[in-house]
Structure 1
Amino acid sequence: MKQKLAFASLLIASTMLVSPEALAQVAAPTPPSVPAADPNTSAEPTQDETQDVEVSAPGFDADAGEEIVVLGRHIPDVVRATPQIVSVLSSEDIARTGEGDIAGALTRVSGMSVVGNGFVFVRGLGDRYSSSLLNGSPLPSPEPLRRTVPLDIFPTSIVGSALVQKTYSVNYPGEFGGGVINLTTLAVPKESFLQVGGSLAYDSATTNQFGYVYDGGRLDSLGYDTGERDVPDFIRAGGLTTNVFNSAQAAQLTNAETTLVLQNNNIPANWNGELSAGHSFDLGGVRLGLIASASLGNSFRTRDAIQQESDDAAGALRSDFRTVLTDNRITANGLIGLGAEFGEHRIRWTNLYIHDTLKQARMGTATVYNNNTADRVLQQNTNWFERQLIDTQLTGEFKFGDFSVDLRGSYANTKRNAPYERFFSYRFDSVRGAYVNSLNGLGESATVAFSELDENLWSGQADLSYRLPMFSTPVTVSAGYFYSDAQRTSTRLDFRYRSFDNGSIPSPASYLRPDYLLSIDSIMGACPNPTTVTAEAGCIRLFNLSNAQGAAQYDASLKINAGYAQIEGEIVKGVRATAGVRYEKGVEFVTTNSALFQGTQLDNGYWLPAATVTWNFATDMQLRAHASKTIARPQFRELAPQVYRDFESDRLFFGNPQLIDSKLLNFEGRYEWFFGRNQRFTAAGFY
């Protein structure tokens, strides 16, 4: 159970923030006289007051519903505008939820769920079948081992709308499973604003409770390393080729700051501070706008877990650990957007920065484990996962009467650095009543790993649409082209501490705590070494295991070229349909530095048709039917034969180069009854 206490929340609204033009006093026009109603005349249902919803998505036309005649006053305009199964939260809807971020607001949409730290899934289908777009362009995750982005980084004050489309249409990428979430940032704010907020949260399972921490660096509380975890030059130079590093080199690694786990009986409270602002003004015939937001948060979570493993058909346990781990998550986010509106045209330039760090300390103990000698074993981990996303995108939406052109381009860079992933395993010596680690590998070991991942994503899209004027009912044809190019390099270097002769280090050094065990004195003199060669001197060395459990390095690429054509219109009165086809070709490959762990290549092209029909058969009631074919490609991490640690599940995973693309057939039927303003009843089946 968590209790959240508001620490500070301040909304500043002042005439100082308003353009001078907006201060001019204009007399309200005199309302026209209203003729008396004829009691013998029945009034037709009128449309409720509409909301101007700002949506920036591929091929989306917010004006498409204006010429559509529907039965009922309560069907929202955005639902009128497309036959697809969509849910849209306007800025007004988002404000009414009272949530501070868009992830919380989306939980009010049926079929949406938030998992972990702000990851939003559609239809509950998980990370593999959900995707996110920002202003219609791909939004990569700051965690390159996932597909989705944590949406709790977007404050509601800068979001113009959140569109959730649960049925596939060919103007979206072919990798479509449960649905897609498209966030639209404000291009030009309707009015200037400045909002400052903060929170202090108490977690009854963690705050002021028992947990584990370790020192790290001076700015760990802000999520940035100050050099304590820099990878030594000798590892960068020889990590892929050198089998053993000598004692003098092993002694250069940062020690106590990354090895000594401390017990903390009063884990701090969680806090967060954020600021968002927006301003708009006129320059000639152009309306210009600026939005900006920044936030910084620090939170703790302690978990008490039972971790069991079995490789026996009868279910006999191979290991049975009781583990306590404390996660310290620090996030720093920023967004700056510039927008311009002139006539029916709109341009926006959006820049996003996300820095998400997880600092983890972990202790686990067991009497059932590999190489069990019936003695209790104690295992310790310290981890630092630093992830960063920099994304910039330019969008232009131009409308020339019945002809519309949308242009999008974006670049994103994601990084994931995990230096000094340290692991220690001690065995309890019942004779001496103390834990021992002789580094012999039999329940007694010490390892360290360094991993780095860097990925660049370029994407571009052009969408053209034309409303055919020769038909009595509105018919729109559209076509588009999409291109993306993702390039990734990932390196993981694993090392084990052993004595120079691969034996056991003697006591008393083997009974020392981790920072003393790997101190300079222990590394150089814990055991006698008769060599007279200076470079060979010392007791403890660093043995390279990087290619033993997978490829130490891999390069990956995914290039996609796609084109589509689509037609949308009213077939007969009350029946609308959208039908189209997309051809998408993807070339994906993974290459490794290992002769044992090979990569793979997937080169496939697909025709992906989709059709949706909506029948407005009664007042405020609709039936929808949908069918489509989509795909799901394996992610780089799923294909690459490299070990990686998922800090959420606290488990190690390994990719499988034998995976291939999945082909999906999707069908859905839905009944909708809009029985009141902002009220609906829905019954649906999805296959």
Structure 2
Amino acid sequence: MKLKLSLIALFIFALGFSQNKGTISGTITDKDMNNETLPFASIAVKGTATGTTADENGKYSLDVNPGSFTLVIGFLGYESKEIPVSIAAGEKKTINQALASTSVQLQDVVIEKTVSREKETALLMEQKNATVIKQNIGAQELTRKGVSDAAAAVTKVTGISKTEGNSGIFVRGLGDRYNSTMLNGMPLPSNEPENKNIALDLFSTDIIQSVGISKTYDVSLYGDMGGANVDILSKEHTGDGKLQVEVGSGLNNKAFGSTFRMADGANKSGFYKVNAPTSIREYQFGTKWSPVTESNPVNGSVGITGGKNFDIGEEGRLSVFGTANYGNGYTYKTGSQRNIASNDEVVTDYYNVNKYEFSTKTTLMANVAYKINNRNTIKANSVFVNASKSSVNEYDTFIGQGDNRYEFNRQTLTEQNKLFVNQILGKHNANERLDLDWGLTYSTVNADLPDRITNNLVRREDGLYTFNTAAPTTNNRYFQYIDETEYAAKAVATLKILKGEDDLYKGKLSFGYNGRIKSRDFEATQFNFRVAQAENIPVNRYDLDTFLNADNQSLTQNVPGTFYINTSRLQSLKPFTYNGDLSIHSGLVNFEHSTSDKFTYTLGLRAEKVLQELEWDTNIQLPNVNFENAKIDKTYILPAATLKYSVSEKSNLRAAASKTYTLPQFKEKAPFRYEGVGENSVGNAFLKPSDNYNLDIKWEVFPKGDEVISVGVFGKYINNPISQVLLNSVLNDNTFVNAGKYAYVAGFEFEIKKNIWQIDDVTKQTLSAGLNGTVMYSKQELDTDKVARESNNTLSVNFNDKSDALQGASPLLLNADLTYRIETGTVKPTVSVVGNYFHDRIYSLGSFGRGNIVEKGIVMLNFVSNTTINDKWSIGFTVENILNSRIRRVQENQSGDLTSYDYKAGSDFSLGIKYNIF
């Protein structure tokens, strides 16, 4: 009885004590992320041990003693907030708070759990809370999957694939021209004449915090987007001072076991200064025709990264971050190529082909973030990338055109691309309702071919070789230079409206301006070496300089056994040129409204004034083509709308609809022949923009912070689609046309990231798996008469069918990974197997009875491991292309598929070590 009375008394005492407490609850949000919830923020009573942590949805509840005190709310990397509070016994108060990003450390708050925006959990939380449909891949996931650059990063995202040998990506079957790229929300120029977008592989993971992929359109983006917008977010320094060094090495198993060929003068640093000759009367070529050799080449890399914070005054803080990295690599492909006529005859057979490539990449980045105070931040960011390639491509060739002769072709290329991007970005909070986001960018690109060498030799019956004398262009040297400059600006204000009873604003009205102005200057000069009457002069194909040299040129021209030089314009040194200018000026307005905790919608409108102009003086002169034909002067009105319904705290149902457009690239419109061995491309000045109508519906659920399951459907209708097509040409030329009136793509996507099992003991262990895939169907109308009519009868195409699939649209894309990791302890290893697959897709549309050229599906499998030791050392080991997959294209002709491109590139092994000095 006494025990029962004691328990009752204790219960009454506890009840009375709890009733003397007050309760504070609320939601913590991220002010820099449109007030999305901020998980795991810390809430504490200043000067006491009383505190708690918000849950993964940013919600918290804290019991406190009655009285007056200061509540401190903070999160690592964010500005803390101190809030005076008075509360009575039994009283319940709601305190919601938005935190602004900063690097200030909290002193009076013990933060039990923090999340970096480089981590998968944080990015999944951002994806969950975002109003628009967006996917992100962060630095943590890039490391786990062995990703070395942004190009490889985006291919891990649902519905995205990459073409071998090309830096461009395909999103839901839509290629380079349908996509756009940004750095920190500002547009990037292109570094290649072949592409509209910059080569994503220029951006190594050393400078990437995360990569955001938007496959749906919202009015904050430029309207020239039909597939996706890729936004690279550069790293910034937070936390304590940091200094890290890294070194790496590796090899390609095919290149290492070969006598590797490189262009003479190939610079291991990757920096070149080679100018075209200024005279054709004297020999002014500083490098040899024949390649040099290197035995058992080994890849290498070195880098240093550091950052530090500096307090300025009472509220200011300066954060400085910098990184410098250099790496090189050797690759070697062996295989074959064919040119096939409409009757299945192999016109040209490149039966023994060896392709050697030495590449370098130097990356420098520096950024400074100055937090003036809690309301104002300015950032300056500069990125310099120098990427170079030395390629030697050798072809044993059979020409089946009546004379049945054997030849040897070699093309040696030296490429250098320099990109320099400078940004100034600002964010300002005028008050609790009005924010301003602005930016300015100045970018330059120099994309050069400092020296491209082409040789063509004929094999005699005795096995020796002589120079091909059939045409002046069979042996030549080519110099190409591209200078591109781009300015961009944005200024967008966001006003919070429609304040609710919980003191949170339910609506946002954004309005502002985006603009970009770019200019490209292209010039190219080809020097043709006409070898006169040299049929009886044998040459060594690996030592052509014994004949093609200054001494022999100094002899009288046209004398048997000598050679002479002319240019593409015969005796003129004036280069072929084209000049492209593009200006886009945009005004935008967007309204976002949360009608309840579950339902949010946006309505946006963007107006863009587009002016694209092109002038040229090239190797193709057409009587019915002038500069006005190439001009695009148009104003676009682009609506966009999204819906988000939170089915529960862990799942969303989303929908998005929009209109966008697609501009042709400069290269696709300029009448200039870009020549390769076995394949050329020619621009079409009459090419028109496309209009795109987009619809997405998606359901997603987040079982845990690092897990996601999603399914979705999408559809795109394209008016006046652009396609690559074979011309009726003995030169195997491709061109670009508005192939028909319409095209459409419809598909289904799914994604699963799931922990298979976890052990939460002394060493936390996790086995996780990821799988995403896209199944889609595409169709485009093909109209031969339309192409002829719209090009003033300057283009001769004859499609084989009335319709076909879209170029680049693979009906099936799959990405998968399996990861085991230990997250606690002195040694923390992570091991992953990563694979992807794309099914057959059209590389180029066929015509005149020549079938489509189809890129065959391929499975790629990589092994990745990374081990951290004592949080000081990090050791990474990667094997790429374990299966040494066959890269193949076929031409669909009358008797079936005939292989036109067939290569294997070997496997790449790499080992890297990082050390954190502090």
> What is the TM-score normalised by the length of structure 2?
0.60
Q: 1:297 — aligned with what?
A: 327
Q: 2:423 — aligned with what?
A: 393
Q: 2:191 — aligned with what?
A: 142
Residue 78 of structure 1, CA deviation: 2.3
Whether the 8 Å contact between 2:582 and 2:612 is mirrored in structure 1 is yes
Alignment partners' CA distance in 2, 1:187 and 1:583: 33
Q: 2:449 — aligned with what?
A: 418
Whether the 8 Å contact between 1:438 and 1:510 is mirrored in structure 2 is no
Write the mapping of 1:214-613 to structure 2, written as runs, cut at 5 A.
Answer: 214-216=263-265, 220-225=267-272, 229-234=274-279, 245=280, 248-249=281-282, 251-254=283-286, 257-262=287-292, 264=294, 266-284=295-313, 285-310=315-340, 312-322=341-351, 323-341=353-371, 342-368=373-399, 373-400=403-430, 401-430=432-461, 432-437=462-467, 439-441=469-471, 445-470=474-499, 474-498=506-530, 503-505=532-534, 507-508=536-537, 513-525=543-555, 529=559, 539-546=562-569, 552-594=576-618, 596-597=621-622, 598-599=626-627, 600-613=630-643
Whether the 8 Å contact between 1:117 and 1:152 is mirrored in structure 2 is no
Whether the 8 Å contact between 1:120 and 1:150 is mirrored in structure 2 is no
Q: Aligned to 2:695, which of 667, 675, 683?
A: 667
- Superposed CA deviations along residues 42-84 of structure 1, whole A, max 9, x for unmatched, are x999648998799xxxxxxx979xxxxxxxx999652455321
Give SS of 1:221's match. coil
- Superposed CA deviations along residues 269-327 of structure 1, whole A, max 9, x for unmatched, are 211112111111111121101111111111111111322113x3222222111321101
Alignment partners' CA distance in 2, 1:656 and 1:642: 9
Alignment partners' CA distance in 2, 1:160 and 1:558: 30
Residue 183 of structure 1, CA deviation: 2.4
Q: Aligned to 2:49, which of 2, 17, 31?
A: 31
Whether the 8 Å contact between 2:150 and 2:205 is mirrored in structure 1 is yes
Which residue type is aligned with residue 566 of structure 1?
A: N
Whether the 8 Å contact between 1:438 and 1:504 is mirrored in structure 2 is no
Q: CA RMSD in A?
A: 3.5
- For the structure 1 residues 469 and 580, does the alpha-carbon distance in structure 2 shift closer, same or farther, using more than 3 Å as the test? same
Alignment partners' CA distance in 2, 1:381 and 1:212: 12
- Superposed CA deviations along residues 565-618 of structure 1, whole A, max 9, x for unmatched, are 110011345111111111111110110125825441111111111111011123
Which residue type is aligned with residue 565 of structure 2?
A: L
Whether the 8 Å contact between 2:526 and 2:568 is mirrored in structure 1 is yes
Give SS of 1:259's match. coil
Whether the 8 Å contact between 1:408 and 1:462 is mirrored in structure 2 is yes
Write the mapping of 1:123-162 to structure 2, written as runs, cut at 5 A.
Answer: 123=172, 125-154=174-203, 156=205, 158-162=207-211
Q: 1:683 — aligned with what?
A: 711
Whether the 8 Å contact between 1:495 and 1:546 is mirrored in structure 2 is no
The higher relative CO (CA closer than 8 Å, separation ≥ 6) is in 1
Residue 195 of structure 1, CA deviation: 1.4
- For the structure 1 residues 95 and 30, does the alpha-carbon distance in structure 2 shift closer, same or farther, using more than 3 Å as the test? farther
Write the mapping of 1:83-232 to structure 2, written as runs, cut at 5 A.
Answer: 83-89=131-137, 106=154, 108-113=156-161, 122-123=171-172, 125-154=174-203, 156=205, 158-216=207-265, 220-225=267-272, 229-232=274-277
Q: 1:8 — aligned with what?
A: none
Alignment partners' CA distance in 2, 1:110 and 1:474: 32
Alignment partners' CA distance in 1, 2:211 and 2:58: 23
- For the structure 1 residues 385 and 650, does the alpha-carbon distance in structure 2 shift closer, same or farther, using more than 3 Å as the test? farther
- Superposed CA deviations along residues 640-665 of structure 1, whole A, max 9, x for unmatched, are 1122357xx98432211121111111
Whether the 8 Å contact between 2:416 and 2:447 is mirrored in structure 1 is yes
Whether the 8 Å contact between 2:442 and 2:486 is mirrored in structure 1 is yes
Residue 382 of structure 1, CA deviation: 1.3
Alignment partners' CA distance in 1, 2:221 and 2:380: 21
- Superposed CA deviations along residues 395-447 of structure 1, whole A, max 9, x for unmatched, are 111112210111111011101111321111111111x43111153439x9311
Alignment partners' CA distance in 2, 1:509 and 1:160: 57
Alignment partners' CA distance in 1, 2:190 and 2:587: 25
Residue 175 of structure 1, CA deviation: 1.2
Alignment partners' CA distance in 2, 1:665 and 1:640: 27
Which residue type is aligned with residue 196 of structure 1?
A: V
- Superposed CA deviations along residues 222-250 of structure 1, whole A, max 9, x for unmatched, are 1122x5x332223xxxxxxxxxx4xx32x
Which residue type is aligned with residue 233 of structure 1?
A: T
Whether the 8 Å contact between 2:590 and 2:602 is mirrored in structure 1 is yes
The answer for unaligned runs of 5 or more in structure 2 is 1-44, 61-73, 79-97, 101-120, 716-918
Alignment partners' CA distance in 1, 2:138 and 2:535: 68
Whether the 8 Å contact between 2:557 and 2:564 is mirrored in structure 1 is no
- For the structure 1 residues 653 and 465, does the alpha-carbon distance in structure 2 shift closer, same or farther, using more than 3 Å as the test? same
Whether the 8 Å contact between 1:192 and 1:279 is mirrored in structure 2 is yes
Give SS of 2:545's match. helix
Alignment partners' CA distance in 1, 2:242 and 2:693: 46
Whether the 8 Å contact between 1:102 and 1:155 is mirrored in structure 2 is yes
Q: Is the deviation greater in 488-497 or in 588-597? A: 588-597
- For the structure 1 residues 309 and 97, does the alpha-carbon distance in structure 2 shift closer, same or farther, using more than 3 Å as the test? closer
Give SS of 1:326's match. strand
- For the structure 1 residues 129 and 267, does the alpha-carbon distance in structure 2 shift closer, same or farther, using more than 3 Å as the test? farther
Whether the 8 Å contact between 1:461 and 1:481 is mirrored in structure 2 is yes
Alignment partners' CA distance in 2, 1:155 and 1:386: 17
Give SS of 1:487's match. strand
- For the structure 1 residues 368 and 174, does the alpha-carbon distance in structure 2 shift closer, same or farther, using more than 3 Å as the test? same
- For the structure 1 residues 374 and 90, does the alpha-carbon distance in structure 2 shift closer, same or farther, using more than 3 Å as the test? closer
Residue 361 of structure 1, CA deviation: 1.0
- For the structure 1 residues 657 and 52, does the alpha-carbon distance in structure 2 shift closer, same or farther, using more than 3 Å as the test? farther
- For the structure 1 residues 82 and 511, does the alpha-carbon distance in structure 2 shift closer, same or farther, using more than 3 Å as the test? closer
Q: Is the deviation greater in 407-416 or in 176-185? A: 176-185
Residue 167 of structure 1, CA deviation: 1.3
